[in-house]
Amino acid sequence: MHESNYIADYVFIGLGAANSLIIKQMHAHDMLSTASLVIIEPDEKLLNDKTFCFWAQDEEITELGFASLINHSWERLGINEDAPQPVWPYTYHHISSLTLYDEIRSILFTCNVVFIRERAESIEKNPDACILTIRTPNHTINAKHVFDSRPPRWNPPSTHETLLLQSFFGRRIRTEEPQFDSNTFTMMDFSVDQSIATQFVYVLPFSSTHALIELTRFGASPINYEYAQEQLNAYFKLKQFGNHTIESEEQGIIPMSTCAIKQDQQCDNFFRTGSGAGRIKPSTGYAFKELARDAIHIVKSLNNENPPKRIIQRTGRFAFYDRILLKILELHPHRGKEIFEDLFHHVRGTRVLQFLEEKTSFIEDIAIFMALPKVLFMKYAMKDICANLTRNAIGLLPLSISLIFLLSEYLGLDLLSWIILAIGMIVIGIPHGAIDHVLNIPERSRTSFALFILGYVAKGMIMFAIWIMSPLIGLIIFLLYSMWHFGQAEYEQESVHNKGLIFMRGVAVLSFILATHIPETNAIINALSIPSIPDSAGLLTSSLLSESSVLLLLMTVFIQPRKSMILSTASLLLGIFLPLLQAFGVYFVFHHSVLGWNHLKKGLQKTHMQLWQLSAPFSITAIGILLLFFFITGYTITGFAPLFFIFLSCLSFPHVLEMHSFYGSIFKRK
């Protein structure tokens, strides 16, 4: 097929609920009458393939513009065979996907729109930041705005995170005799098999003889067709539905994940929507109201010509609750029935819905958790807290070391700081760079190993030769690849792979350390026969370089306000009050090297001891050379520092190349 090219104002990748609601909002604000649209969606959306449900108060229905879409509503909630509970001031509402699709089709009928019945294969940001290029098997589309509702890609779960699936299989049936209360929906009926996972039946009665009945599972693996048929047949027999007709069937899978979502594009005219934007509540799978609010927020921002500030990753106490519950359901699926039954038996249905909608106070939360298995939830709450503390320890470590160094200097125990720094170099600073021989080829033959060593040494000698021929060029090259390497390690920790941001962070970090210690920096480079770096008075201090470097460093945090970067930046700021080598050593050893070590441990799937064993031969050699330098220079820091930086540059040049390749392979695997 000949490839076609299109230019569009708006491109929608996928036409599910999220993008449909955005189109509905755009139409309401008259944003589509003169715009060109491209819809990339393989499915024609002619079937009622999904059921959208939510609870809301009357004013919310008006606010969100749902009134014309609602097919049925319920005022009472049922759990198992318990007496139904009123959910006032809420009402539980149902919208069929076909109702939504039909309305969107009628809107698009009046628009300048092209439908592409294919899947998007790639999205690229052009040098012109205002244009994005989307490619499908047979089409290329250049767009001003892209709304991408494809499923998210998750970061691998850490110890306290979980990735489960809410899978369901349902039948829409009609019975010969009245069987249902059309004003009560059954949220959870646990009279089904619990041996595989937490499972329940969900019932939406549209009349006394007409209902949607779904088998739902919270588990690691989805429900398969044969198993669903078996369980639903048993349930129908248990409930004595008698003769009935199956009008249609529906099935689906909703992610229930507390893991971080990978962020691909980082630009103002690209929007992740739906599950890819983190709009599904992990512990319930409900999303429709949140999708509608997100659509309103996006369209309002576009109308005001301001890029919307959207939070993709969930934080706060409700995210904490979700992590606890999902971890319990993952590791103790047989406890799910007990947990949900206790919840609804001891807490009013309305309060439960408020809690699930994250609208309860902290005091109300405590009362709700008192109704649940206390020991079980306390156990996993403590595990989650410990896991978060361990995760943040990487950021807290350099901050703590900086404070210890400052205290040591204040108490006149400067030697203690140098001892701690030396231990850090021996334990992790040097070893983290001594594992390069197994990074990209885990098992080498003797010949391959010998060639690797020769190549490694040759790269280091090239760097040394550059230093000999031109110390200035050697210094510039050393600084440039060190900046990249530092930034790459920091952003790998946050799963961010934007090359511009990586280099900007590295430039900010290294220039900050050097510029805030300009007299010491100049003393070292003067010893290498390199002219001093010129400086002038700033606006607030005597150093313009220092002020500029602080501004750049803080700017990187403002652009990417990640917790680990905020903590490392705080440590760097404390380094202003330390000597240059200590400030650099704290960052290099206790932040950069620790980050790299953990990335190696995770990427190579090795224990700490295994990594130390792999690094031992090269670590011992490097430590021996450093001691030799220290001996040659007469144990003076000023004499040692220039040789140390040359040695470090020669050793780090091949290391940076190997780690760049290693990080690239990890990114591809993700």
Q: Is 238's pLDDT higher than 80? A: yes
Q: Is 24's pLDDT higher than 90? A: yes
Q: Is 1's pLDDT higher than 50? A: no
Report in angstroms the alpha-carbon separations of 366 from 362, 378, 465. Answer: 6, 12, 67
Six-digit token pair at 374? 């206390």
Q: Is 644's pLDDT higher than 90? A: no
Which residues lie closer than 8 Å to 114 by C-beta, 6 or more apart? 6, 8, 36, 37, 38, 39
pLDDT, one tens digit per residue, over 120-131 is 888 887 766 678
Q: Which residue has the higher pLDDT, 179 or 393?
A: 179
Which pLDDT band holds residue 604 (cuts at 50, 70, 90)?
Answer: confident
Alpha helices (H) in 411-470, listed in sequence order: 414-424, 446-469
pLDDT, one tens digit per residue, over 161-178 is 889 999 999 999 999 999
Q: Is 636's pLDDT higher than 60? A: no
Looking at residue 166, what is its pLDDT?
93
Q: Which residue has the higher pLDDT, 552 or 443?
A: 552
Which pLDDT band holds residue 444 (cuts at 50, 70, 90)?
Answer: low
Which pLDDT band holds residue 218 (cuts at 50, 70, 90)?
Answer: very high
Q: Kindly state the DSSP code that residue 154 receives in the 8-state scheme.
A: B
Domains along the chain? 4-72+85-151+262-303 (3.50.50.60), 163-257 (3.30.9.10), 392-669 (no CATH)
Looking at residue 391, what is its pLDDT?
66
Q: Kindly state the DSSP code that residue 532 receives in the 8-state scheme.
A: P
Which pLDDT band holds residue 480 (cuts at 50, 70, 90)?
Answer: very high
Which residues lie closer than 8 Å to 35 by C-beta, 6 or more apart? 9, 10, 111, 112
Identify whether the C-beta of residue 592 lies closer than 8 Å to the C-beta of residue 489.
yes
Measured distance CA(519)–CA(645) in Å, rounded = 16
Six-digit token pair at 536? 């002038």
pLDDT, one tens digit per residue, over 485-542 is 999 988 887 767 788 888 999 999 999 999 999 999 998 888 888 899 888 887 878 8
Which pLDDT band holds residue 635 (cuts at 50, 70, 90)?
Answer: low
Residue found by looking up tokens 């031992």 in the block = 616
Local structure of 91: helix, strand or coil: strand
Residue 374's beta-bridge partner residues?
none
Looking at residue 633, what is its pLDDT?
62
Six-digit token pair at 554? 């803080």
Looking at residue 31, what is its pLDDT?
92
Which pLDDT band holds residue 406 (cuts at 50, 70, 90)?
Answer: very high
Looking at residue 384, what is its pLDDT?
86
pLDDT, one tens digit per residue, over 352-397 is 999 999 999 999 999 999 999 999 999 999 888 877 766 666 778 8
What is the pTM (predicted TM-score) of this model? 0.67
Report in angstroms the alpha-carbon separations of 447 from 355, 451, 452, 453, 458. Answer: 64, 6, 9, 10, 16
Identify whether the C-beta of residue 545 lies closer than 8 Å to the C-beta of residue 553.
no
Measured distance CA(648)–CA(425) in Å, rounded = 12
Measured distance CA(289)–CA(299) in Å, rounded = 16
pLDDT, one tens digit per residue, over 286-295 is 999 999 999 9
Identify whether the C-beta of residue 333 lies closer than 8 Å to the C-beta of residue 219.
yes
Average model confidence (pLDDT) for the chain?
87
For residues 596-615, give the mean pLDDT: 86
- Strands 76-79 and 85-86 come out as antiparallel
User: Residues of the chain with pLDDT > 70: what percent?
Assistant: 93
45 Ramachandran zone, left/alpha/beta (phi>0; psi -120 to 50): left
For residues 14-42, give the mean pLDDT: 92
Looking at residue 392, what is its pLDDT?
66
Local structure of 167: helix, strand or coil: strand
Which pLDDT band holds residue 439 (cuts at 50, 70, 90)?
Answer: confident
Identify whether the C-beta of residue 587 lies closer than 8 Å to the C-beta of residue 513.
yes
Q: Is 43's pLDDT higher than 60? A: yes
Q: Strand order in 51-56's β-sheet?
A: 51-56, 91-96, 72-74
Local structure of 17: helix, strand or coil: helix
For residues 303-325, give the mean pLDDT: 81
For residues 616-628, give the mean pLDDT: 83
For residues 438-448, give the mean pLDDT: 73
For residues 246-265, give the mean pLDDT: 84
Nearest to 149 by CA among 4, 294, 348, 323: 294
